[in-house]
Structure 1
Amino acid sequence: MGRGELTDKAWARIEPLLPPVAGRGRRWRDHRQVINAILWKLRTGAPWRDMPERYGPWKTAHERLRIWTADGTWERVLDEVIVKDDSVGNVEWTFSVDSTSVRAHQHSAGARKKGGCATGWVEDLAVDGEALGRSRGGLTSKIHLAVDGRGLPMSVILTPGQAGDNPQLLALLDQVSVGRDGPGRPRKRPERVLADKAYSHPSTRAAMRKRGVAFTCPEKSDQIARRQAKGSHGGRPPLFDPKVYADRNVVERCFNRLKQFRALATRYAKRAAYYRSEIIIAAIMLWLRTDLQDTA
């Protein structure tokens, strides 16, 4: 087993969640070998064509990434890993949200506007020009992330680099749906959400109150000044506990762990759908590593 590849315990966790190797037509190449090939690509950020021969043809790995992106396999694996952890009480339902900008390599530009995957969130990304934004520094994408109290990814949204943070908050929370390991409806609502000033807006606070979710977020200075200028009509300041807010750093640590995969620290994928799948695969690895450490 090479560095960064699936361990036997990790493979035992995800193997039952993958499509069968043998089916109609030709037998598929071993799933474990292909996933290790994709992990090598994510870890090194190297071109597909430079993949070592021990992983088999690079086109096979790229095609498996494409197929499982289109049919939602990667997301189903992540969902099942989270469900397993939640069933034993490991998921901490205090969420932290934030975003990070990622420089896009010149090779990520130039994807055709038509074709490729066309399901759900993939169509939305295609409308936004494959989630590529232009700025003085060049092409950028932005990863919006919600993590649990241990800093493990719960949901992710990809937008162009110039997109604001606040409009993505409710969409991030709407993506969360953790099924039960048995009967019962999926759990979708965290107990508390921690966010920085970028998410401080009256409409956001009202939406969180409506959902019954505690919201810990500092006020912006202009919002404080506006409220104070109104005197007694400005209302009371929102509750804010700096000790609770200090736990928000787990989302920053999660970004650091994700960007240890060099293909995520710099975006090389032309298709936003494939880049998002690469983020999901890295998130699966973070969950598996933490889970296996806890059970060791």
Structure 2
Amino acid sequence: MARFDLTDFEWSVIQPLLPNKSRGVARVDDRRVLSGIFWRLRTGAPWADIPARYGPHTTCVNRFNRWRKAGVWDRILSAVSKAYDGDIQMIDSSSIRVHARRQRSKKQTRPRWMGRSRGGLTTKIHVLVDACGLPIRLKITEGQAHDGRSAQDMIDTVERGDLLLADRAYDSNALRQTLAARGATANVKPTPNRVAALRFNGRLYRKRNLVERFFNKIKHYRAVATRYDKRDDNFLTSIKLASIRIWLRFIESMT
């Protein structure tokens, strides 16, 4: 088995979640193709450089795109993350540099979620993780997007009795009110210009390093650490695939 191939355990989890009704000619070996997709995800190499042991690179590209459109990758991520530990959840973002050859041209009209920030042209990854630092919600925005405003559609899993940890970029009355209405608690570091003192637990806040560890893990996948994909949905899918593997390895370590 090659270095980045799916392990027997990973395959045993993924296989039942794959589409089982194919029309016409039977699909080539799913495990081989998925291992090729994960090889490209881990190395960041062009699709055409996928080794021959995984079959034609066009098969890997087509499977990646077809299953993205069909929602297969989303269903797999939803299934493996179903048992998340939600008592404490953490939200944060990280900016990813866009490769020079993938930068937006004047002819492009479709949004690519690329924007100017201090690091140049970037895409920002937003993530909500559980108490173990495992991803629950993912999205991407332009690099200059405001973290607090980007959080509003990501916190639907934070429910009564739960605790949300976040840095001061998320300190807003709107976010705190949303959480309070659900019976959840916001342990968000207050901004220095806050007039009224807010309740803040520094000891619990230190647990937020788990979301930083998540970003360290997904940046081991070079197709995520640098954005090579022109399409925003393809780049987000790469992030989800990296998250699937992080979940699978955590589950395997617990069995």
Alignment-derived partner of residue 3 in structure 1: 3
Cα offsets for 1:244-284 (capped at 9, x unmatched): 11101100000000000011000000111011011111111
Aligned residue pairs total 254
What are the ranges of 5 or more consecutive residues in structure 2 without an aligned counterpart? none
Conserved 8 A contact 1:103-1:141: yes
Conserved 8 A contact 2:91-2:166: yes
| Letter of the 1:31 counterpart | D
Alignment-derived partner of residue 88 in structure 2: 94
Conserved 8 A contact 1:82-1:91: no
**Aligned pair in 2 of structure 1 residues 172, 289: CA closer, same or farther (>3 Å)?**
same
> Structure 2: how far apart are the matches of 1:132 and 1:109?
8
Alignment-derived partner of residue 56 in structure 1: 55
Cα offsets for 1:171-224 (capped at 9, x unmatched): 1113x4xxxxxxxxxx9667111000000111211111112111101111112x
Q: How does 1:90-239 map to 2 (within 5 A)?
A: 91-110=85-104, 113=108, 126=110, 129-135=111-117, 137-174=119-156, 176=157, 191-223=162-194, 227=195, 234=196, 237-239=197-199
Conserved 8 A contact 1:197-1:220: yes
Alignment-derived partner of residue 228 in structure 2: 268
> Structure 1: how far apart are the matches of 2:159 and 2:75?
16
- What SS does structure 1 have at the residue aligned with 2:193? helix
Conserved 8 A contact 1:92-1:150: no
- What SS does structure 1 have at the residue aligned with 2:234? helix
Q: RMSD of aligned C-alpha atoms? A: 1.8
Alignment-derived partner of residue 44 in structure 2: 45
> Structure 2: how far apart are the matches of 1:134 and 1:68?
31
User: 1:107 Cα deviation (Å)?
Assistant: 2.5
**Aligned pair in 2 of structure 1 residues 250, 136: CA closer, same or farther (>3 Å)?**
closer
> Structure 2: how far apart are the matches of 1:140 and 1:31?
33
| Letter of the 1:213 counterpart | A
| Residue 290 (structure 1) aligned with residue 255 (structure 2) | no
- What SS does structure 2 have at the residue aligned with 1:170? coil
Alignment-derived partner of residue 245 in structure 1: 205
| Letter of the 2:210 counterpart | V
Between the aligned residues of both structures, percent identity stands at 39
- Structure of greater Rg: 1
> Structure 1: how far apart are the matches of 2:241 and 2:117?
28
| Letter of the 1:173 counterpart | I
> Structure 2: how far apart are the matches of 1:63 and 1:188?
39
| Letter of the 1:276 counterpart | L
| Residue 255 (structure 1) aligned with residue 215 (structure 2) | yes
Q: If each structure's helix is expressed as a fraction of its own residues, which one has the higher value?
A: 1
**Aligned pair in 2 of structure 1 residues 136, 191: CA closer, same or farther (>3 Å)?**
closer
Conserved 8 A contact 1:91-1:149: yes
**Aligned pair in 2 of structure 1 residues 80, 196: CA closer, same or farther (>3 Å)?**
same
> Structure 1: how far apart are the matches of 2:217 and 2:245?
10
Conserved 8 A contact 2:134-2:246: yes
Alignment-derived partner of residue 74 in structure 1: 73
Conserved 8 A contact 1:107-1:269: no
TM-score of the pair, normalised by structure 2: 0.94
- What SS does structure 1 have at the residue aligned with 2:26? coil
> Structure 1: how far apart are the matches of 2:95 and 2:48?
27
